[in-house]
Structure 1
């Protein structure tokens, strides 16, 4: 069961994944998202980190594609995406960790420019530009502080996954993860 907030978040997420804006998500969109992330972070496309990110995104896509493409036409429509994501992540199902954890870990590797195993506020801001968010520096810093559950000034994979989980499953209006891709 979805509500208006969750519907808006899923619509926003679909728009971020639909890189070429053709109202379907396919493998080209996922590759485009990875390329946009690498470009925003200044990561060479041939680096080991880039290879891991692209592999993580392809694995993520293959995992989700199996669940979302209901008519098996090789594309995911907005309605398939919304219905599938709602079904896939209801009750914090195991599919969430199976599909999102490897992708988040791969992205953490490339976003973590200083290789310290965590994301700084500056690294977070740069990564947000890949998702085409219009977050100001102040809004990005405020969002970062809300996601930083242990208040250590950095984001871990688990903290990012918590925010992503809130984004895709949460219906509470004040959840920090709601703002992951900018103001709704």
Structure 2
């Protein structure tokens, strides 16, 4: 009789432990579900992501740690992101080739600047949703026709997939990962040619009068879409408009944008292209 009571007691304790474990596991799963983004909503040239959250979301710090962990596990594997250097023809902009394994603090400041610009929600990480929202800001200006807008969206998607892999809510790019990946992109001739193919669409989006040139006023639209101050736009334009004709052609615009990523020469005027440099 005593033995039966002991067995019954052990089964009861075991059942309680199993139920407790199930409850803890269920709560843990709920907590590990991050914000799910919906489509961006734009108004007067400013775009936002509508968000809905699940009950039991993690704290901001814990959520950030979870996203970083998931990104490492489910994003593009490191060996896939770092494609072997192609034997294809070199980029025509040979004067902007990045060489050597180490990058200067100046170059790192520039990459941090762009990471901060692309980090639309300012959580310290870049996601595909940030990329989408970035493109929506320019499309919301209304200066791209339907075909151009679709091409722009397609290129943004391809750029993300080629550089960072999976498109899902948890694949994020940290600052250090962005620095590391851009280092490899710039040393891979094939990836380098593709990395900034969306630059012409930024130009067309701000070329309001479709003249094939952008003025300082239109360059201010560019900075507005980047989330930067108009005053910075005027200063930057004055510096990069080296011939002083008050306008930039698409060729000049694209070359400045690419040069920003490639050169480590602090005297190049392209350092002003993406606004004030981020402090290390």
2:218 to 106, 109, 123: 123
Structure 1 residues 48 and 89, CA gap change in structure 2 (3 angstroms): same
* Equivalent-residue separation in structure 1 for 2:240 and 2:162 (angstroms): 26
* Residue 96 of structure 1: aligned partner: 192
Q: Alpha carbon RMSD of aligned pairs, Å? A: 2.7
Within the candidate set 223, 240, 248, 1:147 is matched to: 240
**Gapped regions of structure 1 (runs ≥ 5):** none
Q: Which of the pair has more CA radius of gyration? A: 2
How many residue pairs get aligned? The number is: 173
SS at match of 1:61: helix
State the Cα distance separating 1:64 from its structure 2 match.
2.6
Contact 1:104 1:157 (8 Å CA) reproduced: no
Contiguous gaps of at least 5 residues in structure 2: 1-101
**How many Å apart are 1:106 and its aligned residue?**
1.9
- Taking the aligned partners of 2:155 and 2:133, their CA distance within structure 1 comes to 13
Structure ranking higher on relative contact order (CA contacts 8 Å, 6+ apart) = 1
Change beyond 3 A, Cα 1:155–1:59: farther
Q: Which moved more, 1:77-86 or 1:163-172?
A: 163-172
Deviation digits for residues 7-46 of structure 1, max 9, x if unmatched? 111111111111122322221010111122334xx32899
- 1:38 aligned to 2:139? yes
Asked if structure 2 preserves the Cα contact closer than 8 Å seen for 1:44 and 1:50, the reply is no
1:17 aligned residue: 118
Change over 3 Å in CA distance of 1:114–1:178 after alignment to 2: same
User: 1:158–1:62: structure 2 CA closer, same or farther, 3 Å change rule?
Assistant: farther
Match of 1:165 among 244, 258, 275: 258
More strand by share: 2
Answer 1 or 2: which has greater helix percent: 1
- Whole-Å Cα distance in 1 between the matches of residues 113 and 209 of structure 2? 30
